[in-house]
Structure 1
């Protein structure tokens, strides 16, 4: 049923749980997993900062590479075929959910697996919900794994 699983990770606790679920589904279906990390450039557009945005992007790219290295090791240790990709720029500034959907369509994935932080109230309004955006923008099945703690 699922031959290609797109696993979107951000390095947080909910991503760790999503990796476990992706492994379970991939092993059951003998599926391949593509793990992606999207560099979030949305906070780089605040003015008045003396921080070089290129330095921040370079650091975030490095975090993405390190995160995906750990993810790939877990997948391979579990016997799951996998590839990884750091997506350096969202399809448009701050549009992480659109970028995940575009990756799922381009690859093409049969299933999207990702964690969700389960934020509520003001924190959700301020920080948005990538997972809700993915669900709203894709016609593919999405497996959301909620973190037990709000990250």
Structure 2
């Protein structure tokens, strides 16, 4: 059915669930391209903290964490018997937002399906932060499988424990 699946992951429990979901949908012979997006710490850390952090060291640590995350995902997916490719998307180099970086990669490759976790934000938190999943749903030219938390969405300031449940979207 799907031969080229793009899986976008971060270090969240919903991404871990999305990674596991691949075992149910990837058929023999399918290729999964796993991507992780690394934000530019210059944009992530307010300038008020600039005296406390060496931004380039932070960036190097973020890139290394992304490579480790991709390596772990690759090992897990190979255990499911699928071909795996990984790609680290560095926003400093790409000069776009997270959703655009993932979308552009899905078109460039090209993917028949995108899979990603959704964090279930709502209220002011969603308005302020936006939703990568929502942006991808609006721009995707292929089906998108969202893997969501089983827990109800929490208002800003409340913690939630994220486990996953698949939520297919077309």
TM-score norm. by structure 2 comes to: 0.80
Structure 2 counterpart of 1:22: 22
**3-state DSSP class of the match of 2:26?**
helix
CA drift of 1:8 comes to: 0.1
Task: Classify the secondary structure of the residue corresponding to 1:123.
Answer: helix
Q: Alpha-carbon deviations, 1:43-100, whole Å to 9, x = none? A: 14x322222221221111111111111111110011111011111226325x100000
Distance across 2 between alignment mates of 1:11 and 1:96: 15
Question: For this pair of structures, how many residues does the alignment match?
Answer: 148
Judged with a 3 Å threshold, the aligned counterparts in structure 2 of structure 1 residues 40 and 148 are, in CA distance, closer, same or farther, namely farther
Root-mean-square deviation (Å): 1.7
Deviates more, 1:46-55 or 1:134-143: 46-55
- Counterpart in 1 of 2:58? 56
Structure 2 partner of 1:71: 73
SS in 2 for 1:48: helix
Q: Could you say which residue in structure 1 is the equivalent of 2:130?
A: 128
1:80-119 matches, cutoff 5 A: 80-89=82-91, 91-93=94-96, 95-119=97-121
User: Partners in 2 of 1:24 and 1:62 — Cα distance?
Assistant: 29
Q: Which residue number in structure 2 is paired with residue 34 of structure 1?
A: 33
Query: Unaligned stretches of 5+ in structure 1?
Result: none
Structure 2 stretches lacking a partner, 5+ long = 152-159, 163-170
Distance 1:7 1:130 in 2: 13
Equivalent position of 2:6 in the other structure: 6
Equivalent-residue separation in structure 2 for 1:135 and 1:92 (angstroms): 21
CA distance in 1: counterparts of 2:115 and 2:29, whole angstroms = 16
Question: Quick check: which has more Rg, 1 or 2?
Answer: 2
Normalized against structure 1, the TM-score is what? 0.89
Any runs of at least 4 consecutive aligned residues in structure 1 with deviations exceeding 6 A, and if so which?
Answer: none
Determine the C-alpha separation between the residues in 1 that align with 2:47 and 2:108.
Answer: 34
